[in-house]
Structures are given as C-alpha cells and as structure tokens.
Structure 1
C-alpha cells in the first residue's frame, strides 16, 4: 500500500467555535464548488486561466476546506473532549472494512 500523509497545523491565531468553524467550512466548500464550476464552464463566464492554473486553484481551495475540517476536529477535541486518536483509528478500520484501504 502506498501511504501518503498530510499534516495540517492547529491554528493559533483564532478562537474557533463549533458554529464559526461550521460556517467557515461551508464557505470554503462553496468556494471550492465555485472554482470547479468555473473550470467546467458551469458559471457561464469565460475562463481566462489555463487548465493547469485552474487545477491549481482547485487544489488551493481544497486545502482551505481540509484546514477548516482539521480545525473543527481540534475544536471537538479541545472544547468537547472528543478522542480524535480513537476516532481516527476507528475511521481507518471502517475504510479497511469497506474495502477502500488495505493495510496489508
């Protein structure tokens, strides 16, 4: 199995709440959808970027979504005492059980 990990930091210049992080996640997801819509010509506007530039913009927006999701996990851990390590292990087991991941 080829394993690649992605680590994102705990942001220390913010005081996120569950509600503010949820709203931010929705905002960032909307921006991702907007960029993909432009790339696919769904917005009706003419695209002045190369395909490579648009794909790069999609990746940038996707990282914003991922960072916000990670921030929400930290909020759950710090403010609601959720055991993220336990849940992460359970998530990996679920992925393996469903056949999405082989750890062997």
Structure 2
C-alpha cells in the first residue's frame, strides 16, 4: 500500500501560545462544522451550493484545522523541548500496531 503524507509549514511572524493556539483550533473546527452543517442542511439555512463548491469549502476549512494543529505542535516543541519527529514516529508505530497502516 502506498503511504501518502501531508506536510504543512511552520508559520512565521506569529507568537502563538498553547492557549491561543487551542482557541484557534476550536475556531477552525467550528468553521469546518458550519460548512458541513450547511452541506447537510443542518443549519436551517436554504443556502445551496454545488457539490464541488461545498467539497472545496470543506477542504479549505479542514486545512485550516490541520495547519493550526501543526502550529500547536511547533509551539509545544518550542516551549517544552518535545522532539516532535520522535513523537510522530511513535504515533505512526501506534497506527501500524492498530492495523491502520
């Protein structure tokens, strides 16, 4: 099986804290939920979008969530000296042990 990965950059010009980054993740997850809610008609709105527009909006919000989570990993690495590469390897091992890889 071919393994695909997504790599996101470390953002510059920001001074995030653990708390501010968590709040940003929550905000981005809320925006993702909003888009999916509109797509499923759960928001009560009658706004209709073409499926490809909805999927692109979902992907855009999902990437915002992923980028913010990635930023949080850099914050933890900087503040607490965690070796994120080592933690990623442990995470991948855990996934393999569970049969996900």
Paired with 1:70 and 1:61, the residues of 2 have a C-alpha distance of: 14
Question: Structure 2-normalised TM-score?
Answer: 0.97
In the alignment, structure 1 segments of 5+ residues that lack a partner are: none
The residue that corresponds to 1:23 in the other structure is: 23
Superposed displacement of residue 48, structure 1? 3.0
RMSD of aligned alpha carbons: 0.7
Paired with 1:98 and 1:48, the residues of 2 have a C-alpha distance of: 40
Q: Note the 1:1-104 alignment, pairs <5 A.
A: 1-101=1-101
Superposed displacement of residue 45, structure 1? 0.3
Instruction: Return structure 1 stretches of 4+ with deviation > 2 angstroms.
Output: none
Q: Is the deviation greater in 7-16 or in 67-76? A: 7-16
Paired with 2:46 and 2:13, the residues of 1 have a C-alpha distance of: 37
Task: State how many pairs are aligned.
Answer: 101
In the alignment, structure 2 segments of 5+ residues that lack a partner are: none
